[in-house]
Structure 1
Amino acid sequence: MDAIHLEDLAFYAFHGLYDEEARLGQRFHVDLTCWLDLGPASRSDDYGHTVDYGAITSAIERVVTTSRFRLIERLAGAIAEATFAVDGRIERVRVRVHKPGAPLPIAAGRVSVEIERDRA
Structure 2
Amino acid sequence: MNHTSPATRGDAIHVEALKLWARVGVLPEERSLGQWFVVDLTIWLDLAPAGRSDDLSLTVDYGQTVAAIQACAEQVVCHTVECFSEQLLDQVGEIYGACPIRLILRKCHPPIPGFDGSISVERWRFAG
Please, what TM-score do these two structures have when normalized by structure 1? 0.91
- Which residue is 1:92 aligned to? 100
| Alignment root-mean-square deviation, CA | 1.4
Structure 1 vs Structure 2: percent identity of aligned residues?
39
| Paired residue total | 119
1:31 correspondence with 2:40: yes
- Which residue is 2:113 aligned to? 105
Deviations 1:43-65 (A, max 9, x none): 11111111101110111111111
Compute the displacement of 1:109 (Å). Answer: 1.6
Unaligned runs of 5+ in 2: 1-9
Partner of 2:112, secondary structure, is coil
- Which residue is 2:4 aligned to? none
Partner of 1:113, secondary structure, is strand
Task: Name the CA distance, whole Å, in 1 between partners of 2:115 and 2:78.
Answer: 25
Compute the displacement of 1:72 (Å). Answer: 0.6
Task: Name the CA distance, whole Å, in 2 between partners of 1:10 and 1:107.
Answer: 21
- Letter matched to residue 72 of structure 2: V
- Letter matched to residue 67 of structure 2: S
- Which residue is 1:3 aligned to? 12
Structure 1 runs, 4 residues or longer, greater than 4 Å off: none
Partner of 1:14, secondary structure, is strand
